[in-house]
Amino acid sequence: MPNARALRPSRRGILAAGGALGLSAVLAACGDEDGSSGGSGDSAGAGKKGPWSFKDDRGKTASADKTPSSIVAFVGAAAALHDYGVPVKGVFGPTKTKDGKADVQAGDLDVAKLTVLGNEWGQFSIEKYAALAPDLLVSTLFDDSGTLWYVPEESTKKIEAVGAPSVGISVYDRQMPESLQRMLALAESLGADTGAKEISAAKKRFEDAAARLRAAAKAHPDIKVMAGSASQDIFYVSGTNLSIDLEYFKSLGVDFVEPSEAAKKESGGWFENLSWENVDKHPADIIMMDNRTSAIQPADITEATWKKLPAVKAGQVIPRNPEPILSYDKCAPLLEDLAKAIEGAKKVS
């Protein structure tokens, strides 16, 4: 695997790439105490009174005199905490679409009841943030620099001056199960009942979905899958080695299109840039397309070269969220949808 630090692109560059980005190349040791237990040794635990602490994926320990209750989070992290019964007061990042509805990254959040500090890249109202009297800031980590996703770097000192501790959950250089475990551990430290029937059922569904995807990939080894994202001038083909979802799917046996290392070099190893004239460079039977609002959706792609792709003509295009909401409830359907697509796919490449 190439050196992740040396190849790390800027966060702005990653965002500009639409959804071609993913996040993880290394098969994480999910049973490792320090890497996956999360709150077992680092947090106060659900329902306990007294001081609270949690060691995050930057190696930093956030602490407070009591369990935080005025939480502000990146919208995807807020959606995951919501699924575990942990409420947030404020969010930042893609929360509402132009018509005011919940963005795909907002999950089941009632966005009308939340204070939105900023809906786009670079937007983060420090005034609104301070007014919430936050006692915890939560976001994800897209690299190993320790920079919180969607928290403007130029405003970091002012945001820190408000006084709330912060937690970063990594979605970089690991597979989906480890990031899921870490978010669950954070939720538990914040009071979530991780033994609740709903959570246990969601985790069982995720495990069953993983088994189904593994079986589907084994039964259809000839099906090639490509992960893409569309912008006006460029079609991005994502490699699996820095993506928590794609790397996990790959470990389950799914055969993905892999851009060459030379092609990915300019993006720090994340993806390959293709012009629409060359969108047919990589043969694929199924195309997973970025479903975030930052990307052009398949129904809106007018390029003739796209419409001529065998997978497109066969109707074998499915959505993909390159920033999965880290709850078992939201991640299980991602595996189920890919398994279903592989089970029913025709070999067209």
Q: What is the pLDDT along the chain (349 residues), one digit of tens a residue?
A: 222 323 334 443 444 344 433 333 222 223 333 333 333 333 333 445 679 999 999 999 999 999 999 999 999 999 999 999 999 999 999 999 999 999 999 999 999 999 999 999 999 999 999 999 999 999 999 998 999 999 999 999 999 999 999 999 999 989 999 999 999 999 999 999 999 999 999 999 999 999 999 999 999 999 999 999 999 999 999 999 888 999 999 999 999 999 888 877 777 677 899 999 999 999 999 999 999 999 999 999 999 999 999 999 999 999 999 999 999 999 999 999 999 999 999 999 9
Q: What gap in Å lies between CA 38 and CA 263, rounded to an integer?
A: 36
Whole-structure pTM value? 0.86
**Do 92 and 122 form a contact (C-beta atoms < 8 A)?**
no
Residue 61 φ/ψ, nearest 5 degrees: -100, 115
Look up residue 156 and give its two tokens: 């970091």
Closest to 267 measured CA to CA, from 79, 56, 17: 17
